[in-house]
Amino acid sequence: MKTRFKPKFNIKKGDMVVVIAGDDKDRTKPRKVLEVLIDKARVLVEGVNIVTKHTKPTAQNTKGGIVKQEAPIAISNVMLWDAKAGKPSKVNRQRENGKLVRIAKKSGEVIK
């Protein structure tokens, strides 16, 4: 993304999200965000978009071979999980005591 300002996303590392589009779509199963790639607008989600990577032998991995690992997916294909409502929810941001907090729109609960 070539933009002048850094985009702000409602999803952070460690959040529970639901995949709403793509091959691994399941709106009932929350999964953990491992990493957020802000400049590319992508997220690495646990157990989603598994790819096989062929690795050469190195000092750490003397055998090499084929490794299965997660690949990033577009941030627009995930939605934050609202634990209280038990459903995916949109996010609202509000200031509380000078800090910006994320609030789930479905339940009104503050997201940690």
Q: Which residue ranges make up each domain of the chain?
A: 3-83
Determine the CATH number of domain 3-83.
2.30.30.30
pTM: 0.83
The pLDDT tens digits for 1-13 are 566 888 889 999 9
Q: What is the pLDDT of residues 33-52, one digit of tens each?
A: 999 999 999 999 999 999 99
Distance CA 13, CA 20 (A): 18
Long-range pairs of 106-111 with CB within 8 A, sequence gap ≥ 24: 106/82, 107/82, 109/82, 109/83, 109/84, 109/85, 111/15, 111/80
